[in-house]
Amino acid sequence: MTPACAPSDHSVPAPTTSEQPPFIHGAYYPSWKIYRNQPPSSMDLDIISHVFYAFIRVREDGTIYHLDEKADLHYPIPSTSSSVPSSFPTTTGCLASLTHLRATTHPHLKLLLSLGGASGSSPFPALAASPLARSTLATSLSTFLHTHAPGFDGIDLDWEHPSTPADGRHYLLLLRALRAALPAPRYLLTAALPAGEWCLRHVPLKDVVGELDWVGLMCYDFAGGWTPRSGHHARLYAAARPHDAYGARSVAGAVEYVVGTRGVPAGKVVVGVPVYGRAFLGVDGPGERFEGVGGADGCVDYRELPGKLKKIKEDLGVWGAACLRTGEGGRREWVSFDCPRTVGEKARFVRERGLGGLFYWTGVADKEGEGSLLRAGYEGLYGAK
């Protein structure tokens, strides 16, 4: 990984032709990672175009609050990667750290506040249904950006997910209120949405993308502790003979539904890549009934993989990778994850389909050097330097 304080020939955006605008190559930074000695500067910011700071929470009345005020505003953070001597002062809080990094060493970066999150989405239905709450939220965010994040460039809405026809209508009205308060081109407005027909059936996608700069399609978690069988959780293509309905989900299928069936412009679709694996206990591969999940709630950061393993296996039929390893208590784990080769194939898919780019959850869970998923995605989009 290139130290965050050092200029690099790999800095985004890469040289482009008149036919191809720069791709989005974004990464989420969750505030809680600061407590694991993973400051914003630990990401490979030379090859990241947009950082999504997660999360700011909402209330039903449209007011907002910090998920972690200490991490956001008060935690002392080195301004550079811990791997190099710092010539810059320590900043206070992740928001200031990101702003400082952009101002001093990475002027290409765009910074967005991510609003909500999977565990912070329950207030959205009531909020979005109320004209007063929508207006309050728009005003609250505008004030927050000016007060606490003056260097930030916009808002990323992460409502997971509108689940009724009324939610879908109100979702569009909410976006319109946000766009009115945060006009383009000064501010970016994006949204993260699940990948799959069932989750998106109530979202008026063509109207929604008219309010957005792009939509981030969360192309992961196709399998996990909630599914009856183990499976590749971020495969590019579905298996020829899926073991069940969950096994039929894929990145390509999600993109085809959004672009082909629902008419979203391809260039406004940014494909999400997980920088973590899904661990299943007591199985040797996909399509098996598992005994439980490993890791933290079934997840293992990519930087911790493969660990103790037999061998990484790349399933080229679906473009998903996995490994067998010994998990907690000596139990056998089968872990589904992306490797550099599968991410490179996803980057090629993005280029061939004319999509908007790639984003990653999360930028700090990556490995350094040849094992880096973000590096594989970047080089797949732009070519190795």
Find where tokens 């393993």 sit. 309
187: Cβ contacts below 8 Å, ≥ 6 apart: 145, 153, 154, 155
For residue 82, the model assigns a pLDDT of: 45
- 272-310 pLDDT per residue, tens: 999 999 999 999 899 999 999 988 889 999 999 887 666
Tell me the C-alpha distance between 29 and 152, whole Å. 14
Contact (Cβ atoms closer than 8 angstroms) between residue 212 and residue 266: no
The answer to whether residue 147 scores a pLDDT higher than 90 is yes
DSSP string across 25-78: EEEEEEGGGGGGT--GGGS-GGG-SEEEEEEEEE-TTS-EEES-HIIIIISEE-
174-211 per-position pLDDT tens digit: 999 999 999 999 999 999 999 989 999 999 999 999 99
Q: If you average pLDDT over residues 149-175, what whole number do you get?
A: 97
- Tell me what the mean pLDDT of segment 69-78 comes to: 94
pLDDT at 375: 98
216 pLDDT tier (thresholds 50, 70, 90)? very high
pLDDT > 90? residue 311: no
> For residues 329 and 320, is the Cβ–Cβ distance under 8 A?
no
- Summarised one tens digit per residue, pLDDT across range 241-282 is 888 888 889 999 999 999 999 999 999 999 999 999 999 999
List alpha helices for the chain, DSSP H.
Answer: 69, 94-104, 124-129, 131-148, 165-181, 197-200, 205-211, 251-255, 340-353, 373-382
* Rg, C-alpha atoms of the chain: 20
Percent with pLDDT over 90 in the chain: 78
- 32: closest CA among 82, 64, 75? 75
Query: Which tens digit of pLDDT belongs to each residue from 42-67?
Result: 999 999 999 999 999 999 999 999 99
pLDDT 10s digits, 6-42: 333 345 555 444 445 689 999 999 999 999 999 999 9
Q: Is the pLDDT of residue 165 over 80?
A: yes
CA distance 137 to 134: 5
Which residues are within 8 A (CB) of 376 and not within 5 positions of it... i.e. 6 or more apart? 340, 341, 343, 344, 347
Q: Report the mean per-residue pLDDT for the chain.
A: 90
- Going by C-alpha positions, the residue among 93, 119, 121, 97 that lies closest to residue 109 is 97
DSSP 3-state helix, strand, coil percentages of the chain (rounded to 5)? 35, 25, 40
Query: What's the pLDDT score for residue 315?
Result: 84
At residue 314 the predicted structure's pLDDT band, cuts being 50, 70 and 90, is: confident
Could you tell me which CATH number the domain at 24-218+250-275+339-382 has?
A: 3.20.20.80
Residues marked active site are found at: 160
With pLDDT > 70 as the criterion, what percentage of the chain qualifies? 90
| Residue matched to tokens 């490979």 | 44
With cut-offs at 50, 70 and 90, classify the pLDDT of residue 84: very low
Whole-angstrom distance, CA of residue 73 vs CA of residue 92: 6
